Chain A
């Protein structure tokens, strides 16, 4: 987690956004001292509900910048992610993926499997960027936790996007590995060494497979009206003067558009 907190710290600085405007709902327990250092508001929410909770924070106060940091994103939180992307809710979703994958081709893999399952793993993992992109997210990227500079730059860029951005971060879950000396850094190094930067690659092609190097980089960067944009346009059209637009977003001429 430390690498992600460092990246958030740098990314927020680079984006030039006041820290007090930032809220981080997460199902991952952050260290209280780390949160104080970041200077943001932090909420540890029930597993998988980071995007739904973040949706409320954003709609309750549209001036907030909300960064759901999600661990159980595609399991418990799967439907929230799908619909958050479809609505283009203004959230920067950091998806922490500490997956283990069968025969990933390196030494740490047998350890990781042994931790979770005595008979190894056999299920297919999700291709997060592809899923986010298909559902309408305006920004998708993937980095390993060792791509510190790239990850921070990605966070900064995504924080200034309007709509749902998703950054997948490959990082070992330290609690599982703490008992094995050096495994955390070894695994991190392993992810890093087995990745290849493929910016602007079609998200359909970035699934993580046992035989290929892991594609990292920025895969989606597009524009669509956000939920609040569409909410304001629709209600203004229907209610005229009776409606006061919610928040103070830039003017959007019409609903829809490419992918919208």
Chain B
């Protein structure tokens, strides 16, 4: 289905990533946004606040993030496409209802402009330390999809993709951007509405008495419904059967709980998007996502100037994780280098897939800034020179860390 031209602001713009994501949401047909403003995501609010009422999208500033995410889930069940926007502390508050949304198989989009943490952290500067939280932040077993854009253009494009994935797999989608991409101002091209594909809601259309809100279709995703259609919905956050009625026994918990993870795991080949370059004959492969993949371009260039064979694998979707791809590359390459703005999160999944067949080097960064590309280049060089297989993670000592710690903290006797 093509996008409704009403929400599409066709043209060429010079805007930041936050605003581009806001425009992307409206282009995707988002009709309800609830949020509580927080730096560095506020520009996305402003874009929706300004444009939304002109294109039939309602914006409400809620009392907190708990209320914001509850409201968008309610609005999704009333039949519209929805989004909420947040960062750091707000993202932590939203975890309660991310699990609720996953449990109810509610399509919605959550835009998280990551900032330095934990707690209040560094509110105005960047971080990539919410990645594991985006996977397992709420209690219980569930799987969802996380996307990491690296430019304002991608913020527009992948926000639309996020809405489409939400409808397709009936689950919450996390856009795990960060302050750097959110506040980066670049050229953004918004195409004509008829060039934008949008996924309509998979609504049930049969007789009311036959509807089962959690009966899976062949792709394991059930048909969605909305309040007000006389379906007498019984929808609960308790583990439920196909009717939606609560179940308590272990066999039912297995039977109905399992599908929440399997509908993503078994469809992951269709979900995962990667950008791979020069990996065929590479000794070292740089695995990165979001702003770090943007910074890594320079690091890779510097390493190639020294004659090192470097390939890159960019995780556009970070979750679900591309296990098979990573395992396959681990058989061919000597090492993976993983720059991320945290003290090691996604790198552990790289190491799991490498399984001792290739070395894994983490290039850490504490946040409030991005990597120095020279560090990435040096880490690549170090990895290329290492001929031994090293067990466990190798942590590269960055220039920044050397300058402030003189080589890192040590326990004193």
Contacts and interface: CB of A to CB of B under 8 A. Distances in A.
Interface of A: 19-21, 23, 25, 29-30, 32, 35-36, 39-46, 49, 52-61, 63-64, 79-80, 82-83, 227, 231, 235, 239, 242-244, 246
Interface in B197-250: 226-238, 243-246
Contact of A25 (B74, B97, B231): B74
A63 B58 CA distance: 15
A83 B67 contact: yes
B32 A20 contact: no
Closest 3 CB pairs of A and B: A56-B74, A60-B78, A60-B75
Contacts of B67: 49, 52, 55, 79-80, 83
Nearest to B31: A60
Given A44-B235, A46-B100, A60-B32, 11 more contacts: A42-B235, A46-B97, A49-B70, A52-B70, A56-B70, A57-B77, A60-B80, A79-B63, A80-B66, A242-B54, A243-B54
B96 interface: yes
B348 to A, nearest CB: 30
B64 A79 contact: yes
A80 B77 CA distance: 19
B175 interface: no
Interface string B21-54: 0000000000110100000000000000000011
Q: Could you tell me the dominant secondary structure of chain A's interface residues?
A: helix
A21 B60 CA distance: 23
Nearest to B97: A46
Contact of B77 (A43, A49, A52): A43
Contacts of A52: 62, 66-68, 70-71, 74
B288 interface: no
B213 to A, nearest CB: 10
Contacts of A54: 74
B257 interface: no
B177 interface: no
B54 A239 contact: yes
B240 to A, nearest CB: 9
Contacts of A55: 34, 60, 62, 67, 70-71, 74
Contacts of B246: 29, 32
22 contacts: A25-B74, A32-B234, A41-B227, A41-B231, A42-B235, A43-B235, A45-B100, A49-B67, A49-B97, A52-B62, A52-B74, A55-B74, A56-B71, A56-B78, A56-B82, A57-B227, A59-B71, A60-B74, A61-B78, A61-B80, A83-B62, A239-B54
B42 to A, nearest CB: 20
Interface in B70-101: 70-80, 82, 96-97, 100
A143 B158 CA distance: 52
Contacts of B66: 49, 52, 80
Nearest to B64: A79
A41 B97 contact: no
A59 B77 contact: no
Given A20-B228, A29-B238, A41-B227, A56 B75 contact: yes
Nearest to A243: B53
* Listed residue (A43, A55, A60, A80) with the most chain B CB atoms within 10 angstroms of its CB: A60
Interface of B: 31-32, 34, 53-54, 56, 58, 60, 62-64, 66-68, 70-80, 82, 96-97, 100, 226-238, 243-246
Contacts of A83: 62-63, 67
Contacts of B230: 19-20
Contact of B74 (A30, A57, A239): A57
A41 B74 contact: no
B353 to A, nearest CB: 35
Given A23-B227, A46-B100, A61-B227, A40 B32 contact: no
A40 B53 CA distance: 30
Nearest to A61: B78
Contact of A246 (B58, B71, B226, B234): B58
Contact of A64 (B32, B96, B228, B231): B228
A128 B26 CA distance: 39
A79 B62 CA distance: 10
A235 B63 CA distance: 21
Contacts of A20: 228-230
B388 to A, nearest CB: 51
Contacts of B78: 23, 56-61, 64
Contacts of A239: 53-54
Contacts of B62: 52, 55, 83
Contact of B233 (A29, A43, A59, A79): A43
A54 B228 CA distance: 13
Contacts of A44: 235-238
Given A21-B228, A32-B243, A35-B234, A45 B77 contact: no
B60 A61 contact: no
A187 B77 CA distance: 38
Contacts of B229: 20
Given A44-B238, A49-B67, A57-B75, A64 B227 contact: yes
Contacts of A41: 227-228, 231-233, 235
Given A56-B74, A57-B227, A60-B75, A40 B80 contact: no
* Listed residue (B64, B227, B234) with the most chain A CB atoms within 10 angstroms of its CB: B227
A35 B71 contact: no
Nearest to B243: A32
B245 A32 contact: yes
A23 B228 contact: yes
Contacts of A63: 228
B322 to A, nearest CB: 32
A36 to B, nearest CB: 6
A194 to B, nearest CB: 35
Contacts of B227: 23, 41, 43, 57, 61, 64
Nearest to A20: B230
A63 B80 CA distance: 13
